[in-house]
Structure 1
Amino acid sequence: MPSTPNDHPEAGPATTIPRRRLVAVTVAATHPPRRGKQHRAAALLHRLSDQWDVESHSLTIQRTDLPLPRRSRRVTPRWTDHRLCDPLLVLWVSLLARFGYGPAYIDRILDMLPRRRLRRALAAADAVWVSVPDHYLWVRRATPARIPTALDEDCIAAQLYPAREDAPLTQRIAAEIDRVEGAALTVADLVLVTDDEDALASRRRGAGVIACVPNGVDLVRFRPAGEDERRQARAALGLGDDLCVGVFVGSGHGPNVRAVDVLLGQVAAYARAGVHLVVAGRCGLGRRSVPGLTVLGEVPDVVPVLHAADVALCPLLDGGGTSIKTIEYLAAGLPVVSTPVGVRGLDLDAGTEVEVCAVEEMPSRTAELAADAPRRASLASAGRAVAERRFSWDASADALSAALAAMVDSGRRTPPTVLFVGSSAELYGADLCLERLVLAHRAAGGRALVALPDDGPLAARLVAAGVPVEVLPLAVLRRRLLNPLGAAQVAGALLGSRLRLARLARREGVELVHSNSAAVLSGAAVAGAIGVPHVWHLREYLTADRRALRVLAAVLERRATQVAAVSGPVRDALLRLRPALANRTTVVHDGVDPDRFAALPDRAAGARRLGLDPRRPTVGVLARLNAWKGQEVLVDALARLGPAAAAVQLVLAGDIYPGDEPIGAALRRQVELAGLQDRVVFPGFVDPQDVLAVSDIIVSPSTRPEPFALAVVDALCAGRPVIASAHGGHLEQVRDGVDGLLVPPGDAGALAQALLRLLADAALRRRMAAAARGDRRRFSLDASLPAMWAIYGEALAGP
């Protein structure tokens, strides 16, 4: 079988890999194995224990464990197998198995209990191997970020569970299987497949690093039977030596059960051909033997059954991965008659190593083999040879060991699945930064989900970019809510959003929550509910003069795993209130695309859209109209300029938070009283490119410290000199005298003098514009993202 090339070409021979600790997490018990997936896990773990210290944890028990299941057993000197022995898990899997797929929704059951023993094992591992996608997301969340996790995608689970149109429950289960599997493939650090076809399917669904670990066979146990062994095996089954016996073995897995249905419908056709059918395994439970068909049910060992056969049958109609039973048939020296599904992914030579035909043709093909002993012998010999050559569990275990070791050595882990929680869905500075961060996280290979408080333009842009967005009432602090009635409203939103987001986060396998503002409390609540790290993006300047801000700082200390402060002054203000956060707070400037404003719209066109005269000098402000952005100080400064600057016009671009309408009305009255109504425009929220195109100077006159004014960064990137209040984030953004001027906060006179200086000196404006453009990449997204990814890594690494 041609192996899919490993995406870790640096992996060396397995024998040179130093002994490491591997934790395997499976649904069903691996020892003793009872079906294909457990046989694969048991065979590989048994051989891996020669190279690794192996600890396996099965989530359920099996019937052989009853009545008193053992919690642990030493399988080999280096492999210990554990059972969780959890009644809730056992009951759940048993119940869902009645609908064809027991592991469905199992991650939600795992979330309900602490699983301390398993968590301790995961924390001590060098690598983690998960047997099915259904609990992969839970295991990944429970595993420290430094430890890579591999998903064993030995078959595409979504192919194994057909949804019935007349059964809504099966449709829901099928949809859940498909969703969970897709999410697991996207975030897995390593995906293990058994054949090229599944490798391509996994790649199409978002898998990154893929390694091929084929299924195999125990070539000593499964071998051609001697004549005496054949005679004894037939006698034990009550079969005569003169019969031509066709055998099918299988577990109670859905495709095997459906294959038995096919055989039951073809008993007469096989009987006419002189072939007696034998069905062994749980696939035959509930079926009775009839003339021409012997149903053995579950047997302790299938090898004697194979020794009694003349032909092996594989009438599978559906399924995924590669069939272990077919490989065992080959190793046992039996000629095989199979459907295409039964030999899927094995790359066998039809006609030489196996007979392949449609299921309807299998009785006639089997009859032909029954009458042709030399042909049977030729197929049997070729099948045994290919099993010896290509399907050894030893070779597969070496491939797995090398892939796991390379995964550990690479020192990388797929970026986490992050739930981003925003405080608004507008397109102001914090909103645009959230959009950039979400898209950058996706581009880096991570999964992103976004929760927003309303269905605004940011939600539409994210959905258009393919990002899942959940719109729901979030607990967001606003000044108008700082009263008893507002507190009750926030508390209600906090409780409701905690419940809804916790369900979403568990379902999607969220590993980290990122709150985009200290004003949004729902992120902290959901992170605590599901037990994942919480990164709180601090975009607010917290001071001791307001009780609400002191309380918010205390909440940050308790509920933030890491804090990303948008500027040094923001960090310093927080640490003055909460010094204990020093080791958990990092400055990460908001990043922009520095070339976004390289080509601005035509000045005349922008002026027409804003209602301005393009020939007159223009001063622009890009900020909401609120109590501390300082627009009233700038209007006062403009009034002080007098006749010398009568031609100067001012554009105050920005809208008003609901509830802050009196602020806008007061500002308009101030403009009218100063007689500036013909020189000041209020266009509301507009494209900042128009404002930048028409403005000669951009002003940020905030009266309280600005955390980090994104409008200032945009202006500098566009080559516009900036006048800003000398406090807060402005001190890190504007270089006084180089690319702008700093003035005392709230000082209209000083602001007027700075305006006069720049308006009167075109050469100075040009020098400042050139300096701003020349150093525009200091606040680029490329400069800020590494710091944010490092914060994520610190948060996921734990204390």
Structure 2
Amino acid sequence: MGAHVSMVAVSTDPGFVPDRSWIWRSYIESTPELDCDARFFAGAPLSVLFYPSFLRNAVWPYAHGNQAIIRRALAEQSWLSEALDGRSFDMVHCNHFFLMPVAERLARGRSPILLDSHDLQARQFMLMNKKIPWLRPHASYESMLAVELASMRGADLLLHVNIDEHEIFSVLLPEKRHALLYPAGPEAPSGPGGDDIVIVASNNTANVESVVWFLREVAPKAPEIEIKIVGNIDIGVRSGAPEEFRRYRDWFVGRVDDVRCAYESARLVLLPMVNGFGLSIKTLEAMASGLPLIATSAALRGMRDDALDLPDVTIADDPESFARALRRKAREPRRTQAQRRTSCVRAYFDAHFSQAVYRRNLEALVGSLLENGRRP
């Protein structure tokens, strides 16, 4: 978009202060795509953990599972790179509510702030806390949401990556300006194709519950069909459902360097999601591959209703209909590379989640904010 971009990486782990350059080395080496005009760093020193007020107001709530308070508190105590002193910006784009204390320092009360909402993170924190032995009483959803909303009020424009969160936050924060901005989805190979029927999943709570549901409820109803399960989800299933893992051990491929390669030799993608919040990146990835999909409605959460009616998408929300669709689709001839590139799911991806569409929409929002939203 022609902007001069300065990246400010903020650590939510104590001890990652800017002048300890060695501690940031692995982060820099693993994020070459973030190289731009300048890189800066911010983080709280270890000493903050021993401040009585920090122990009382941040560490103690965190011991009860309040992920929102500890993250915001560490951002509030962050030291910034000395090179940022006196530096001004036309606009600050903040990617998490708990980093707003840093964004507001960079804006200096003059520059407008864009903030990405990433779904209601209080809901994500509740999912994260499910298997962690926090002290009782556990932090409530309402207490973490209150921190989230209070932080968001400091932004000039709230960017929401799916329809659900746009509607929810518009009600929760009616005084703020909101915009629906779908993310640019990851590209996936559209061929050459093969015979694999794939589930692609990383190891998180929602994915583990979804894959276990498929193995327990759907797979036994289509015993003649073999599936390839790609990603480090094998770790979570082995731990959470050892019997199902033993039974279907040969289906698990495990972690691969580039999970997108799973789509190259596939003929059909399964999205058996039964839990989770926010727009599903792996659904976007599957759409980009141009393959036919069998999905629960939860897999298309956050999208417009027309996504549910795409000819290449079969919606199946119960085990019987999912297994029935699987047996039927497994008998269909596989798509050619040309058919995948021109499929309706690929066209939907291009129309809503491509890099070009994201850039065009973001450029319009930024232009409007710079023109009308500068603070007095």
**Pairwise TM-score range, normalised by the shorter structure:** 0.7 to 0.9
- The equivalent residue for 1:155 is 119
Q: Which amino acid aligns with 1:246?
A: V
For residues 51 and 280 of structure 1, the distance between their equivalents in structure 2, rounded to whole angstroms, comes to: 37
Query: Which ranges of structure 2 fall in alignment gaps of 5 or more residues?
Result: 14-21, 50-60, 239-244
Q: After the TM superposition, which residues 186-225 of structure 1 pair with which residues of structure 2 at under 5 Å, given as runs?
A: 186-207=153-174, 208-219=176-187, 222-225=188-191
* TM-superposition CA deviations, 1:369-413 (whole Å, max 9, x none): 112337997998221222223321221122113212321221444
Pick from 320, 327, 333: which aligns with 2:290?
333
For residues 337 and 170 of structure 1, the distance between their equivalents in structure 2, rounded to whole angstroms, comes to: 41
SS in structure 2 opposite 1:154?
coil
For residues 200 and 62 of structure 2, the distance between their equivalents in structure 1, rounded to whole angstroms, comes to: 22
SS in structure 1 opposite 2:213?
helix
- Are 1:350 and 2:350 matched, yes or no? no
Q: After the TM superposition, which residues 51-62 of structure 1 pair with which residues of structure 2 at under 5 Å, given as runs?
A: 51-60=2-11
Q: After the TM superposition, which residues 191-590 of structure 1 pair with which residues of structure 2 at under 5 Å, given as runs?
A: 191-207=158-174, 208-219=176-187, 222-227=188-193, 230=194, 244-250=196-202, 252-266=203-217, 268-269=219-220, 272-281=223-232, 283-288=233-238, 290-293=246-249, 294-347=251-304, 348-350=307-309, 352-360=311-319, 361-373=321-333, 381-413=343-375
For residues 151 and 297 of structure 2, the distance between their equivalents in structure 1, rounded to whole angstroms, comes to: 28
* 1:98–1:359 Cα change, 3 Å: farther
**Which of structures 1 and 2 has the bigger CA Rg?**
1
Greater relative CO (CA pairs within 8 A, separation 6+): 2
- The equivalent residue for 1:114 is 79
For residues 148 and 357 of structure 2, the distance between their equivalents in structure 1, rounded to whole angstroms, comes to: 27
The number of residue pairs the alignment matches comes to: 339
Deviation for aligned residue 1:144? 0.6
SS in structure 2 opposite 1:372?
coil
For residues 26 and 312 of structure 2, the distance between their equivalents in structure 1, rounded to whole angstroms, comes to: 43
Deviation for aligned residue 1:306? 1.9
* 1:84–1:269 Cα change, 3 Å: farther
* 1:137–1:86 Cα change, 3 Å: closer
For residues 12 and 255 of structure 2, the distance between their equivalents in structure 1, rounded to whole angstroms, comes to: 17
What is the root-mean-square deviation in Å for CA atoms of aligned residues?
A: 4.0
- The equivalent residue for 2:148 is 181
For residues 81 and 363 of structure 1, the distance between their equivalents in structure 2, rounded to whole angstroms, comes to: 50
* 1:181–1:111 Cα change, 3 Å: closer
Q: Which amino acid aligns with 1:154?
A: H
Deviation for aligned residue 1:226? 0.9
Pick from 156, 166, 172: which aligns with 2:139?
172
Q: Percent identity?
A: 19
For residues 99 and 151 of structure 1, the distance between their equivalents in structure 2, rounded to whole angstroms, comes to: 27
* TM-superposition CA deviations, 1:344-386 (whole Å, max 9, x none): 1322143513112215343332222112337997998221222
For residues 267 and 209 of structure 1, the distance between their equivalents in structure 2, rounded to whole angstroms, comes to: 44
Deviation for aligned residue 1:268? 4.1
Q: Which amino acid aligns with 1:370?
A: A
Q: Which amino acid aligns with 1:350?
A: D
For residues 247 and 255 of structure 1, the distance between their equivalents in structure 2, rounded to whole angstroms, comes to: 14
* TM-superposition CA deviations, 1:494-532 (whole Å, max 9, x none): xxxxxxxxxxxxxxxxxxxxxxxxxxxxxxxxxxxxxxx
Q: Which amino acid aligns with 2:200?
A: F
* 1:66–1:186 Cα change, 3 Å: closer
For residues 369 and 104 of structure 1, the distance between their equivalents in structure 2, rounded to whole angstroms, comes to: 48
For residues 276 and 206 of structure 2, the distance between their equivalents in structure 1, rounded to whole angstroms, comes to: 6
